[in-house]
A = this chain, B = another copy of it.
Amino acid sequence: MARDPAALARYLTDLQGRLCAALEAADGRARFDRRHLPGERGGEARPCVLEEGAVLERAAVNYSHTRGERLPPAASAARPALAGAPFEALSLSLIVHPHNPHAPTVHMNLRRFEAHPPGAPALWWVGGGFDLTPTYGYAEDAEHWHRNALAAVGAERYAEFKAACDRYFWLPHRGEARGVGGLFFDDWRGGGPAEAFALLRAVGEAFLPGYLPLLERRAHQPFTAAQRAFQRYRRGRYAEFNLLYDRGTRHGLEAGGRTESILASLPPAAEWRYDWRPAPDTPEAHLAAEFLTPREWVRPPAGRR
């Protein structure tokens, strides 16, 4: 963004277009519902949502530029003193819920906040990352996902952001991770605006090479009705995380954002079964035991990049 948030806005809207085009191509049938909604104080929202595709049951790629009079408490966990200050936010959020239960759900967010506390200098920071949530665990998928994340940001940042991702996407009431993680950072300024822009760009450009190979590999794998039911059960956990804990969801709703854009992250369908446990030694049981406990999926090269 250099000194210029407008450059980041241009990058994010361009990336949004490329992500939508790539997801439409991967689906092969459905098209995004693309809208452009003017916001208050010169802001805007560009929600793009696709439903009931051949491959993608739901995908949302939402860009928003928000100018608000009061920063919601959820926006900056590290800087609670800024709550209530006028703010400006740029955000690109992506979620993909594929139809095939063997294909993982995926999420990415790239955001920049700028707060204007009264009588103090403006303060900016960026946040974001991406994370993968399989219904059925495949070690080779998780390894590809993490190798790609490591290549995108380098070994030092990968170690930090991977650990932050494991901490953030955690369901304490279930004692399990949302998925196999990826990268997460927040309240990040690095060496300044240019480095922050470069980080957002590195993550944004790494998304498709990380996800599309997995989607291509799994989208046409045979599956059973029981596996689809397990997917709905697991999507219950996804809804729990997003509604109970996700700061982006809470911030968006607190800030009076467009509900249908914010909650487009929710799965198309979710189920809850009382005290249900998968039978031992099944793929359903392996998911929690082997994939939803944080672990190292790639070994960073010795020494720093």
Interface residues of A (CB under 8 A from B): 33, 49, 51, 58, 60, 172-174, 232, 236, 239-240, 243-244, 250, 253, 259-260, 262-264, 266-275
Contacts and interface: CB of A to CB of B under 8 A. Distances in A.
B270 A51 contact: no
Nearest to A266: B272
B269 A270 contact: yes
Please provide the 7 A-B residue pairs with the shortest distance between their CB atoms, ordered closest to farther.
Answer: A243-B243, A260-B275, A266-B272, A173-B253, A173-B259, A49-B274, A269-B271
B275 A263 contact: no
Nearest to A275: B260
A174 B259 contact: yes
B33 A274 contact: yes
A214 B60 CA distance: 40
Contacts of A259: 173-174
A49 B244 CA distance: 23
Nearest to A267: B272
A33 B264 CA distance: 35
Contacts of A250: 244
Each complex incorporates copies of this chain amounting to 2
B253 A51 contact: no
A96 to B, nearest CB: 14
A32 to B, nearest CB: 11
- The binding surface of chain A is classed by DSSP as mixed
Contact of A51 (B49, B173, B243, B273): B273
Given A51-B274, A243-B244, A269-B269, 19 more contacts: A33-B275, A49-B274, A51-B273, A58-B274, A172-B253, A173-B253, A174-B259, A232-B269, A239-B239, A239-B243, A240-B263, A244-B250, A244-B253, A260-B274, A260-B275, A264-B274, A266-B272, A269-B271, A270-B271
A283 to B, nearest CB: 22
A253 B243 CA distance: 13
A68 B243 CA distance: 26
Contacts of A49: 274-275
A268 B272 contact: yes
Q: Which interface residue of A232, A263, A264 has the most chain B CB atoms within 10 A?
A: A263
Contacts of A33: 274-275
A21 to B, nearest CB: 19
Contacts of A236: 266
Most buried by B among A51, A240, A267, A274: A274
Contacts of A253: 172-173, 244
Contacts of A239: 239, 243, 270
B271 A268 contact: yes
Nearest to A270: B270
9 contacts: A49-B275, A51-B273, A51-B274, A60-B274, A173-B263, A239-B239, A260-B275, A268-B273, A269-B269
